Amino acid sequence: MSSTTTTLKGQIGEVVVHRWDVDDPTFAVILAHGFGEHAGRYAHVAAALNGIGGTVYAPDHAGHGLSGGERARADKAEDMVTDFAAVGELAQSEHPGLPLVVVGHSLGGIIATRYVQRYAPPAALVLSGPVIGGNPGFSALLTMDPMPDVPLDPAALSRDPKVGEAYLADELVYHGPLQRESLQGLVDEVELIAQGGTLGEVPTLWIHGSLDPLAPYDATAAAIEVVKGPKLEAKSYEGAMHEIFNETNQDEVLADVTAFLTRTLGLD
């Protein structure tokens, strides 16, 4: 499977959108990646979605991957949501009438949740390790002056050490410290989500690693209680870390996602 790219004019600069297309799709997907990484790391997720008839659009957020903007800045996360909505408009214009599915991981879970709060409801929503409840440990850094440099520990991503090795070797991944402006932007966005209303009637699958150190399970669960609608399904994976799509049980995780979408969209 190979991907192509297209570009859109974003709020800050050019946004590069990765695409994994299928012939005669039955639904379209817009996928939001996490902080510091890029959409190219989701080729295997796109392959699983392609396998059940989904055509996938995944932008590199502003300041990430191949897109323009200062590296790994998240102080204008609402602009990322606006850019993400433009990707949704592209997907729907190219596939009119097809159900739209939204998938978001980590920071992408913040973006996906705000997308649902701000725009027309999609046919389904998948949240993977969403940081919608913040991370108290990281938030505490804002009280320090100067704020210490805290680069991401790749051991937090997966129990599979090869995932961390590939992450460190990936030149499109941001490997520097978390900036104060970005952290404050993420904290502000978490507050917006808490005040932004529920997910309504959108069928939602929330999946999470029980030992996720970046989006702590308990903090996320508390936030889910605030925003959840009546059609929420949830599953945690015992012992799993942050990137459950890259965990040692990733086949189980992807099977759960495709089963949820197959049932929700009536694909079988």
> What is the secondary structure of 2-47 as a DSSP string?
--EEEEEE-SSSEEEEEEE--SS-SEEEEEE--TT--GGGGHHHHH
Q: Distance between CA atoms of 38 and 59, rounded to whole angstroms?
A: 8
129 CB-near residues (< 8 Å, 6+ apart): 34, 105, 106, 109, 207, 208, 209, 212, 214, 215, 220, 242, 243, 244
- Catalytic residue list contains 242: yes
What are the boundaries of each domain within the chain? 4-265
- Catalytic residue list contains 212: yes
Chunked into runs of 10 residues, the chain (268 residues) has average pLDDT values of 90 96 97 97 98 98 96 92 98 98 98 98 98 93 87 93 97 92 94 97 98 97 98 98 98 98 96
- Catalytic residue list contains 106: yes
The pair phi, psi for residue 206, each rounded to 5°, is -105, 120
Mean pLDDT (the chain) is 96
Catalytic residue among 21, 60, 75, 212: 212
The helix (H) or strand (E) run that includes residue 111 is helix 107-118
Catalytic residue among 67, 106, 158, 182: 106
The pairing of strands 14-20 and 54-59 is antiparallel
pLDDT of residue 1: 61
pTM here is 0.97
Catalytic residue among 67, 208, 242, 256: 242
pLDDT of residue 148: 86
pLDDT of residue 73: 87
Asked if 56 and 100 touch (Cβ cutoff 8 Å), the reply is: no
The CB density around residue 79, as the number of other CB atoms within 10 Å, is 17
pLDDT of residue 74: 87
Q: Which of 261, 64, 15, 89 is nearest to 182 (CA)?
A: 64
* pLDDT tens-place string over residues 29-52: 999 999 999 999 999 999 999 999
CATH 3.40.50.1820 fits 4-265, yes or no: yes
Q: Which of 83, 76, 26, 69 is nearest to 50 (CA)?
A: 26
